[in-house]
Structure 1
Amino acid sequence: MRFWGYARLAFVLLAVAQTQQVLAEQTSVDDAREALTKKEEDADSGKALEEVFQAAEKSYTLLKKGERTLTYGFDYSLLRDMQIQTVRTGNNVFSVIGQSEAQHTFTNSFTFDYGVWDNLTFSMRVPFVAKYDTERDINTNSLGDLSLSLRWQPWSSVRGRPVTTLFATLGLPTGESPYDVKVDDGMATGNGYYSLGVGANMSYVVDPVVLFGSLGYTYNLPIRDADQVRGGRLLEEVDPGSSLSMSMGFAYALSYDVSLATSLQMAHNLAPTFKFQDATLEGTEQTSAVMNFSLGLRTSPDRIININAGFGMTEDSPDVLLGFSLPLDIKGLKAE
């Protein structure tokens, strides 16, 4: 209790001009003068909390004009599933075959952020994906799908009010498409289609906690030239269907150097449509939900390492998720 009282006091001292009366009630004049003489390496609770939040939820981060950051991230996921497919055996007779899968996915990603304006940030994420299926004993590794995004804060931050950020994303099919690899002994590292997404993020600071949430919509562009044989039939076109997403959670500052964050992320994909040479089939809608926990550790005044672990809550979600991220300090990257 004493620690959080001091943390709240430090936050108020930096955010509000009326500090003298509060200091007089808590400390002597000499102590107050020492507290106000902030050194360069010191961290107040408000700034620490905001940095923790930015490290845990990169989608909410906005940079000042001209600022540039580069972040490295590593993610691992395990997905166990049973794939069901129909195979033509002759005379238009189809048989159902079930195939067990256990996909291990390792993703190394680099995210570059650039402050176009104080309230507009451009981001580019470049992933490198390696997959290994222990059930079928196959593996692949290549570039994943690149993504570009813009985050815009239309209104300036006001103490005591939520902060709203609007975003737009563009997904590029630079990875190996699932409609280009061999169905039986191949794995994809990308979605195979372009996507356009829009949405909004909201965050609210209640020292020492940041509450946050988001809503998003993604339109996945159809694939017109799939030309892939599946189950003895030629797949010509695919409409992946749109998706709706939401997330909510909070980040909690345990101290100036340690923080915790918890979030729930959900996505609902509308039913895809598959156009074969002789028929058109409609898939099923899918809902994925992931509970994620992260630990933020400050290793230096300007560096926070974020470690996360999560698990899927539906059949369409990965079973296990692990990962970490950290900022990279490259000479010449920061604005002068």
Structure 2
Amino acid sequence: MGFNGYAWLALLALTTAQPLWADEPSVDEARDALSKKDDDADSAKALEQVFQAAEQSYTLLKKGERTLTYGFDYSLLRDTQIQSVRTGDEVYSVVTQAEAQHTFTNSFTFDYGIWDNLTFSMRLPLVAKYDTEREIDVYSLGDISASLRWQPWSSARGKPVTTLYATLGLPTGTSPYDINNNNDLATGSGFYSIGGGANMSYVIDPVVLFGSLGYTYNVPVSGLHQVRGGRELNKVDPGSAINLSMGFAYALSYDVSLSTSYQMSQSFKPTYTFADASFDGTEQTSAIMNFSLGLRTSPDYIVNINAGFGMTEDSPDVLLGLSLPLDIKGLKAP
């Protein structure tokens, strides 16, 4: 609602709330009545709140504040793998394996404000996977992750907001290097990961522009004894990755916003060390377009629904998601 809308409301209040014989208000009183108050609805503020709920990477809590968010995500990945399997001395056969993996993830994210400009987060995922081609399923804990988000400079109107972050991924899910690939599915990466980067956002009412750039180092895994293609796999160097994202959020009203983002990840060549030789894998490029709808159902309750699709062969084909805050008694700081 712009200035004209507030002016009409103020004039209506002046003409209906006072008797006709009341004294004519002064110029200062009229100016005060028509001016915008601090507690009036603000589209830019509402947009940023909805945006922050949808893009947790850009949200910082006040010192002592705590939030718990539930998220549900679904992804579909169709792939065909071609493997060379050794059946004898220097004799190989080509095996083609089709996959159609449906992944359902229920996650709980806890955020805690250490300082006003430093927030700690931890994410606990519960993963269910089902391969319709091979009729294999698994239900297990995924990889737990923790992060710190730090805002080195205070926010100022008309200037971009910069947030630095550091992440740690723990291999708590089922490792792909500890299973039989022909009969089982993995719910985790199988290795530790350490990452860092920067996020930026800029409000141009009624639009928020945002972007992110980061680097992830995946820690090599050793001491393996997994048979792959007739050979024993002993060590894996997953390779590092560079992550990039950009997009914008648009406020349709005080309570509804739309967000569009492009996310890209470039993973460098992994190295597989077998008992008798080492091989380099191929680089992977993942690119995803994502669309999100933010709905404010109450002053402190925002629900986000998102849908996306992969743009490369290394990306999931279909992505669906839902996130909402959980109000648990005693969770919020007094």
Identity %, equivalent residues: 73
> Partner residue of 2:311?
313
Instruction: Give the Cα–Cα distance (whole angstroms) in 1 for the partners of residues 78 and 56 of structure 2.
Output: 28
Q: The residue matched to 1:50 in structure 2 has which SS?
A: helix
Shift in CA distance, 265/122, structure 1 to aligned 2, threshold 3 Å: same
TM-score in terms of structure 2 length = 0.91
Instruction: Check conservation: 2:6, 2:36, Cα contact below 8 A.
Output: no
Shift in CA distance, 46/87, structure 1 to aligned 2, threshold 3 Å: same
Shift in CA distance, 208/8, structure 1 to aligned 2, threshold 3 Å: farther
Residue 274 of structure 1 pairs with residue 280 of structure 2? no
> Partner residue of 1:244?
242
> Partner residue of 1:230?
228
Instruction: Check conservation: 1:172, 1:193, Cα contact below 8 A.
Output: yes
Displacement, 1:83?
1.2
Residue 67 of structure 1 pairs with residue 74 of structure 2? no
> Partner residue of 1:25?
none
Residue 193 of structure 1 pairs with residue 167 of structure 2? no
> Partner residue of 2:93?
95
Instruction: Give the Cα–Cα distance (whole angstroms) in 2 for the partners of residues 7 and 298 of structure 1.
Output: 22
Shift in CA distance, 328/310, structure 1 to aligned 2, threshold 3 Å: same
Instruction: Give the Cα–Cα distance (whole angstroms) in 2 for the partners of residues 226 and 6 of structure 1.
Output: 70
> Partner residue of 1:284?
282
Instruction: Give the Cα–Cα distance (whole angstroms) in 2 for the partners of residues 105 and 6 of structure 1.
Output: 50
Amino acid at match of 2:159: R
Displacement, 1:91?
2.1
Instruction: Give the Cα–Cα distance (whole angstroms) in 2 for the partners of residues 5 and 310 of structure 1.
Output: 37
Structure 1: runs of 5 or more not aligned = 10-27
Shift in CA distance, 154/138, structure 1 to aligned 2, threshold 3 Å: same
Displacement, 1:132?
0.2
Structure 2: runs of 5 or more not aligned = 8-27
Larger Rg: 2
Displacement, 1:245?
0.4
Write the deviation string for residues 213-272 of structure 1: whole angstroms up to 9, x where unpaired.
000000000001221000110000000000000000001110011100000000000000
Instruction: Give the Cα–Cα distance (whole angstroms) in 2 for the partners of residues 159 and 7 of structure 1.
Output: 23
Residue 128 of structure 1 pairs with residue 126 of structure 2? yes
Q: RMSD over aligned Cα, in angstroms?
A: 2.0
Shift in CA distance, 73/319, structure 1 to aligned 2, threshold 3 Å: same
Amino acid at match of 2:33: R
Deviates more, 1:154-163 or 1:306-315: 154-163
Displacement, 1:37?
5.4
Q: The residue matched to 1:250 in structure 2 has which SS?
A: strand
Displacement, 1:38?
6.3
- The alignment covers a number of residue pairs equal to 315
Shift in CA distance, 98/54, structure 1 to aligned 2, threshold 3 Å: same
TM-score in terms of structure 1 length = 0.90
Q: The residue matched to 2:84 in structure 1 has which SS?
A: strand
Instruction: Give the Cα–Cα distance (whole angstroms) in 2 for the partners of residues 7 and 173 of structure 1.
Output: 55
Out of 320, 323, 333, the residue aligned to residue 325 of structure 1 is 323
Instruction: Give the Cα–Cα distance (whole angstroms) in 1 for the partners of residues 4 and 100 of structure 2.
Output: 50
